[in-house]
A = this chain, B = another copy of it.
Amino acid sequence: MTAKSQKSNLTLIERLKQFANQSANMLNLDVEMAVSMSQPIKAAVMIIGGGEDKVQDRKILRAFVENSGGASSRIAIIPSASREPEIIGRIYHQIFTELRAEHIEVFDIRERLDQTPEEVEAQLAGITGVFMTGGDQLRLCALIAETPLAIAIREKTQKGKLVLAGTSAGAAVMGYQMIAGGGSGDSPNKEMVSMSIGLGIIPNIIVDQHFHNRNRMARLMTAIAAHPDKIGVGIDEDTVAIFEQDHMMRVMGRGTVTIVDPAEVSYSNQLWVSDTAPLTIHNLRVHILSAGSKYNLAKRSPLSPTI
């Protein structure tokens, strides 16, 4: 890292802090009072659509710290999706410090590590929450997918011993099938989306992020047409889909979570048309879910708010 980029990085953090303090003052709040009480870990996978509020209420990041144990949370940040892991790691370190996590460290992984199970166990000892930043999901998977560390994080998360959050690229990797890239502004066609393999935290979903913000409905439908055994989960910016242990997903934040469910698809031309030909897909079921909504992933069914 050059001296110049270190300086601009510090400046960015200072400006973020100033903005946070100003915002808090305006709201007659005290940032330093934003203490989460020490509380038991509430295991969850928190899939954030990118662009989460980092300077004002920080509702989603605060919920991550609270789920991870509040004042007794012990957070690991994995900034490896980013080309600027040091900068982005430091930004989230600062935020989680202000949110009063007990312990924060950055796993600044820049090459695939061949750790022993014992080394991984020692590295994760006491960690209650892992946060994966944005960047490039292919980069993140190239660095950690199926390494001993990623396998251990997956196992601990699936056993309810860890809160795992990811935003943007860190969200994209949550399924087994992963959207690596794609486009918009065209009739749905196979060239619109490129797929790869993610971390398989929740294997039966395909995540898309910055969802309505970047007009990604067509690409998620295209991805789902190719993988009709999965459920599409499109998450808007500053919005989180929180998957808990009971197969329930609930929505928090400013936008929506869109479910694209192919369970009833009765016909699709996906298998035999060319990559650029328009797709035909009959009977997709779509739910648009805003804050407070719940969805049962096992039953493939949204819960009516009156229930």
Query: Which A residues form the contact surface with B (CB < 8 A)?
Result: 184-188, 212-215, 217-218, 221, 236, 239, 254-256, 266-267, 269, 273, 277-291, 293, 302, 304-305
Q: Which residues of B contact A187 (CB under 8 A)?
A: 212-213, 236, 239, 254-256, 290
* Chain A contact residues, majority secondary structure: loop
Contact status of A282 and B287, CB under 8 A, knowing A187-B239, A256-B187: yes
Q: For the complex, what is the distance from the CA of A285 to the CA of B283, rounded to whole Å?
A: 6
Cross-chain contact B267 with A282 (CB below 8 angstroms): no
- Our pick among B184, B283, B291, B302 for the contact of A267 (Cβ within 8 Å) is B302
User: How many protomers of this protein does the assembly include?
Assistant: 2
Cross-chain contact B188 with A212 (CB below 8 angstroms): yes
Q: Which residues of B contact A277 (CB under 8 A)?
A: 290
Cross-chain contact B304 with A266 (CB below 8 angstroms): yes
Q: Which residues of B contact A185 (CB under 8 A)?
A: 212-215
Query: Can you spell out 27 A-B residue pairs with CB atoms less than 8 angstroms apart?
Result: A185-B212, A185-B213, A185-B215, A187-B212, A187-B254, A188-B256, A212-B218, A215-B215, A215-B218, A217-B218, A221-B286, A236-B278, A254-B278, A256-B278, A256-B279, A256-B280, A267-B304, A269-B305, A277-B290, A278-B288, A278-B290, A279-B288, A281-B286, A281-B288, A283-B285, A283-B287, A284-B288
